[in-house]
């Protein structure tokens, strides 16, 4: 039968281990032997071949591990003569039980391509394939656990935590990854202390004092079980209570730490543990363990003496004490309740079992030429008499099998298994004993099924800012320590660290917790200003209609006839339209109202100015024609109509071109005012807008010039004088309108334009028609042809 060496380096009797610690080590050692015997008895896996093994005790010391590995590589190992018929090279090493020793071992064996499979080394640094090309492990890397711990503390809202770590590769690398992940999650570290199990008590006491003085209420302990035991003793001595502990997989499920005495400190502890599993047939194998199997096994003898409270020798205790019965070796384990035979929750021993089977499957694949199409595509099958460690290493990279429990075992490109953890919470049962309750899972992406009912402490440096406030860093403090500053206008925050700007159409509400649609502002009929301007417009229109009725009733009187009644009625009609067109500027702008408001205003005022211009020309010509020797014919009515029509038509052409090329459209102005949306009419073409106003101004200027030249005409009723005054008011209003229009914000721009329309319309109405109505109603004696023509006629004589 061919012998294949698998040298297993496990930690036995570490630091004088005793009790539960020694029991756990012996359990892993026995599980490894069970796996090898199970493989050797298998007819499907490595048939007609046997795996041999040798166990070394590293004593938890890096130097001891190194010495064992060098002895193996130098060929100084010895075989177990009674279990094999020959001697073979070492094909794989399983171990060690800590990261520091494994790092030294892997660096030494990497150059010789001897695969190292660890069942407990979790340091993320071992995933570096360039530095550790021959390393594999059956326990997840701390790369995932550290991130899981960061996500866990963030899940419970603990953003201000303390940290304690083992001062070795396991603790330092794991904590470094945790700190990095915590920073991403927004968790700050108040303090970070490092200890070792053999540090002086003064140093351990100082670390406990740092924890007790800190303001954070959560402690993340990335410690091995030995460092945690030392720290726990000092914490109990200083009565360190009221803290929430978050632990790593190394100690979170260690029974000797979860006692009634330690519950005062560690009650409610949370942490991630290696997933538990079951190994069929292991319990029956453990029950058959006895001193008769290996009488020279010191660890087995110690286990037997401790379990059955007996001794194999008759030597009495040196100190006075009760005598112990002598062990016969025939005691039965099934007759007692012992953690050694409890296989319901295998967390670490299962990793040893997986490691042995991984090596066996890789050798089996090598001998049967499986996966030959793998790396390189040209692997050579090995003969059972000539198997090299490098060949086992290459096939180990592609090993992929399913255990009896249904769990799939394989390694990624870094030699790591799938990261699967259980979230464990320390709870008390009805008897008051601490039990480990699985409350969630972690699969490398996030925590699932996390349902924990316990009194969670608050552990924050600064309370979260209220809605409407943002965080402001305090100089010299971590980012978790901040002050709260109100958000600026138009910004919101809802339990977030920063204020966010609302979009253009939205604005912050009163407490700046959410964005609400901006107030849409326009001059409406519902507000005071709109009502007042609409009322004045209607009063002006009604007053103009009243004047028209008065003129119609007194159309046969001299003063009405003298003022050219046809032009007067046309002027009154245009003034009515001027008053009414201002109503189009009030209300919500629409596409039609925007196109109508400026064009209607421009055409009606052009008609109005055309009538005034015709009236002014008529007055000048009429009085000039009555003077002796003047050959200028009297102004005919058709000429007046043509001038009015021509002047108005030109404005109509300007407005049509404006509407055709760039009409005025509704526009939501968000730039002028940040807190509101101004709904206004965009003029479309500034040239068209100012052309309309400019043409009206040109007509008004001509009227003013002609009326000013006619100011010395006979003054019994000199209409030119009143026209001149009305044009003076008209020009003053619209000259003032330009800067007011440009500088007025929002709806006041429209109000200014309406005011200019109303003021100029009232100026024309009162200045031109006011004096005539005064004579008609209050001075009827002047409403005679003789009085009107008196002075002028005398001068002409």
pLDDT confidence of residue 713: 60
At residue 615, does pLDDT exceed 70? yes
Neighbouring-strand partners of residue 5? 52, 90
Q: Is 391 helix (H, G, I), strand (E, B) or coil?
A: helix
pLDDT of residue 9: 43
Q: Looking at residue 38, what is its pLDDT?
A: 92
Residue 293 in tokens: 């199997």
Is a pLDDT exceeding 70 seen at residue 253? yes
How far, in Å, CA of 606 to CA of 655, rounded? 11
* DSSP designation for 277: B
For CA atoms 305, 308, 314, 318, give the dihedral sign: positive
> In the prediction, which pLDDT does 379 show?
52
Percent of the chain with pLDDT over 90: 28
End-to-end C-alpha distance for the chain, whole angstroms: 159
Query: pLDDT digits over 191-225, tens only?
Result: 999 999 999 999 999 999 999 999 999 999 999 98
411 pLDDT band, cuts 50/70/90, is: very high
Q: Is the peptide bond before 96 cis (omega within 30 degrees of 0)?
A: yes
Round to whole Å and give the CA distance between 702 and 567.
Answer: 17
Least confident range of 395-404, 457-466, 785-794: 785-794
Between 715 and 206, the more confident residue is: 206
Annotated domain spans of the chain: 5-76+87-140+278-309+335-372+384-410, 469-517, 528-626+634-788
> Rounded to 5 degrees, what are φ and ψ at 233?
-60, -45
Q: What pLDDT is stored for residue 669 in this prediction?
A: 84
**Residue 631 pLDDT class (50, 70, 90 cuts):** very low
Report yes or no: 689 and 602 within 8 Å, Cβ to Cβ: no
Averaged pLDDT for residues 741-763:
85
With cut-offs at 50, 70 and 90, classify the pLDDT of residue 322: low
- For the chain, percent of residues with pLDDT exceeding 70: 84
Mean per-residue pLDDT of the chain: 82
The predicted structure's pLDDT at residue 377? 44
Hey, is 764 helix, strand or coil?
helix
- Phi then psi for residue 118, to 5 deg, are -100, 145
Beta bridge partners of 109: none
Most confident of 93-107, 284-298, 399-413: 399-413
CB 621 within 8 A of CB 632: yes
- Each residue's pLDDT tens digit, 3-52: 555 444 443 434 344 556 667 778 888 899 999 999 999 988 888 888 88
The burial class, CB within 10 Å (0-12 / 13-18 / 19+), for 315 is exposed
Residue 447 has pLDDT above 50, yes or no: yes
Is residue 531 predicted with pLDDT exceeding 70?
yes
Residue 508 has pLDDT above 50, yes or no: yes
With 0.75 as the threshold, say if the pTM is over it: no
Q: Which helix (H) or strand (E) holds 796?
A: helix 785-796
Residue 645's DSSP bridge partners are: none
CATH class of the domain defined by 5-76+87-140+278-309+335-372+384-410: alpha beta
Q: What is the chain's length?
A: 797
Q: How far apart are CA 301 and CA 472, in angstroms?
A: 65
Report the range out of 210-224, 393-407, 426-440 with the highest average pLDDT.
Answer: 210-224
- Which carries the bigger pLDDT value, residue 230 or residue 725? 230
* DSSP letter assigned to residue 766: I
169-185 vs 142-155: helix crossing angle, rounded to 10: 40
Q: Which of the four CATH numbers 3.90.550.10, 1.10.10.60, 1.20.1070.10, 1.25.40.80 does domain 528-626+634-788 have?
A: 1.20.1070.10
Residue-wise pLDDT for 132-185, tens only, equals 999 999 999 999 999 999 999 998 889 999 999 999 989 999 999 999 999 999
Residue 73's pLDDT is what? 67
In this structure, are residues 184 and 131 in contact, taking their beta carbons and an 8 Å threshold?
no
The closest alpha carbon to 202, from 151, 237, 167, belongs to 237
Residue 85 — pLDDT band, cuts 50, 70, 90? very low
- Distance between CA atoms of residues 160 and 183, nearest Å: 11
Task: Please give the residue that has the higher pLDDT: either 180 or 450.
Answer: 180
Pick from 189-198, 202-211, 335-344, 639-648: least confident: 335-344
- pLDDT over 90 at 229, yes or no: yes
Would strands 2-10 and 506-508 be described as parallel, antiparallel, or unpaired? Answer: unpaired
Helix H, strand E, coil C: the string for 245-257 is EEECCCCCCCHHH
In angstroms, rounded to a whole number, what is the distance separating the alpha carbons of residues 263 and 378?
59
Decide which of 58 and 403 is more confident.
403
Residue with tokens 């069929």: 280
Q: Give the tens place of pLDDT for each residue, 538-576.
A: 999 999 999 999 988 888 888 887 777 788 888 899 999
Q: Looking at the predicted structure, is the pLDDT value of residue 634 above 70?
A: no
User: pLDDT tens, 577-589?
Assistant: 999 998 988 989 8
Cα torsion 748, 749, 754, 757: sign? positive
The pLDDT of residue 318 is 41
Residue 316 has pLDDT above 60, yes or no: no
The closest alpha carbon to 703, from 599, 793, 613, belongs to 613
DSSP H helical ranges for 215-331: 225-237, 263-266, 282-287, 298-308
Q: What's the confidence (pLDDT) of residue 382? A: 62
Residue 520 DSSP SS3: strand
Is residue 432 left, alpha or beta, with left meaning phi > 0 and alpha meaning psi from -120 to 50?
left
């Amino acid at each position: 039968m061919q012998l294949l060496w698998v040298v297993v380096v496990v930690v036995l009797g570490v630091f004088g281990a005793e009790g539960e610690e020694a029991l756990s080590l012996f359990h892993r050692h026995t599980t490894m032997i069970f796996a090898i015997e199970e493989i050797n008895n298998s007819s499907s896996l490595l048939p007609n071949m046997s795996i041999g093994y040798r166990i070394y005790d590293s004593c938890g010391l890096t130097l001891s591990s190194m010495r064992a590995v060098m002895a193996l590589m130098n060929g100084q190992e010895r075989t177990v003569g009674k279990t094999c018929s020959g001697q073979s090279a070492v094909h794989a090493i399983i171990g060690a039980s800590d990261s520091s020793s494994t790092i030294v071992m892997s660096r030494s064996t990497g150059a010789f391509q001897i695969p190292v499979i660890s069942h407990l080394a979790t340091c993320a640094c071992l995933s570096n394939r360039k530095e550790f090309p021959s390393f594999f492990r059956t326990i997840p890397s701390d790369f995932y656990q550290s991130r899981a711990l960061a996500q866990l503390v963030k899940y419970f809202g603990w953003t201000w935590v303390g940290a304690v770590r083992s001062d070795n590769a396991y603790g330092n690398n794991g904590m470094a990854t945790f700190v990095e992940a915590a920073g991403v999650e927004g968790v700050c570290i108040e303090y970070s202390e490092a200890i070792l199990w053999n540090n002086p008590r003064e140093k351990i006491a100082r670390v406990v004092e740092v924890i007790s003085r800190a303001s954070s209420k959560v402690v993340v302990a990335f410690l091995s079980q030995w460092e945690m035991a030392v720290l726990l003793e000092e914490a109990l001595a200083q009565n360190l209570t009221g803290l929430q502990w978050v632990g790593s997989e190394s100690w979170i499920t260690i029974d000797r730490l979860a006692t009634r005495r330690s519950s005062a400190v560690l009650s409610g502890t949370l942490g991630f543990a290696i997933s538990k599993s079951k190994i069929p047939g292991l319990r029956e194998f453990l029950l058959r363990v006895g001193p008769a199997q290996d009488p020279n096994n010191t660890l087995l003898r110690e286990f037997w003496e401790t379990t059955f409270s007996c001794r194999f020798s008759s030597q009495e205790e040196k100190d006075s004490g009760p005598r112990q019965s002598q062990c016969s070796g025939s005691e039965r384990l099934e007759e007692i309740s012992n953690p050694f035979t409890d296989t319901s929750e295998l967390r670490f021993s299962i990793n040893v079992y997986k490691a042995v089977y991984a090596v066996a499957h890789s050798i089996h694949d090598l001998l049967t030429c499986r996966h030959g199409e793998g790396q390189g595509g040209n692997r050579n099958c090995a003969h059972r008499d000539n198997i090299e460690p490098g060949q086992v290493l290459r096939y180990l990279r592609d090993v992929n099998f399913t255990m009896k429990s249904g769990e799939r075992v394989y390694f990624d490109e870094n030699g790591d298994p799938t990261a699967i953890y259980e979230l464990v919470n320390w709870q008390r049962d009805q008897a008051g004993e601490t039990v480990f309750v699985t409350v969630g899972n972690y699969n490398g992406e996030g925590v699932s099924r996390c349902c924990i009912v316990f009194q969670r402490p608050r552990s924050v440096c600064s309370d979260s800012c209220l809605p409407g406030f943002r965080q402001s860093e305090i100089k010299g403090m971590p980012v978790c320590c901040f002050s709260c500053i109100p958000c600026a206008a138009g910004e919101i925050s809802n339990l977030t660290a920063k204020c966010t700007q609302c979009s253009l159409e939205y604005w912050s509400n009163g407490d700046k917790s959410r964005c609400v649609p901006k107030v849409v502002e326009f001059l409406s009929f519902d507000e005071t200003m709109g009502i007042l301007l609409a009322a004045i417009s209607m009063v002006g229109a009604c007053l103009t209609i009243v004047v028209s009725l008065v003129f119609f009733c007194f159309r046969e009187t001299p003063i009405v006839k003298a003022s050219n009644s046809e032009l007067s009625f046309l002027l009154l009609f245009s003034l009515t339209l001027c008053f009414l067109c201002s109503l189009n500027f009030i209300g919500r702008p629409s596409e039609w109202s925007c196109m109508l408001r400026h064009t209607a205003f421009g055409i009606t005022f052009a008609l109005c100015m055309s009538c005034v211009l015709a009236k002014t020309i008529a007055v000048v010509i009429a009085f000039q024609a009555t003077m002796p020797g003047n050959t200028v014919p009297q102004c005919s009515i058709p000429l007046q109509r043509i001038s009015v029509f021509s002047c108005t038509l030109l404005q109509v052409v300007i407005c049509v071109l404006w509407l055709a090329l760039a009409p005025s459209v509704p526009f939501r102005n968000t730039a002028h005012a940040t807190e509101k949306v101004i709904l206004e009419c965009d003029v479309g073409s500034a040239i068209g807008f100012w052309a309309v106003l400019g043409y009206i101004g040109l007509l008004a200027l001509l009227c003013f010039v002609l009326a000013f030249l006619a100011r010395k005409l006979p003054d019994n009723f000199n209409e030119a004088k009143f026209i001149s005054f009305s044009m003076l008011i008209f020009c003053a209003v619209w000259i003032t309108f330009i800067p007011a229009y440009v500088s007025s914000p929002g709806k006041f721009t429209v109000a200014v334009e309406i005011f200019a329309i109303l003021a100029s319309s009232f100026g024309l109405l009162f200045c031109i028609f006011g004096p005539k109505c005064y004579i008609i109603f209050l001075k009827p004696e002047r409403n005679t042809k003789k009085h009107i023509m008196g002075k002028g006629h005398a001068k002409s004589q």
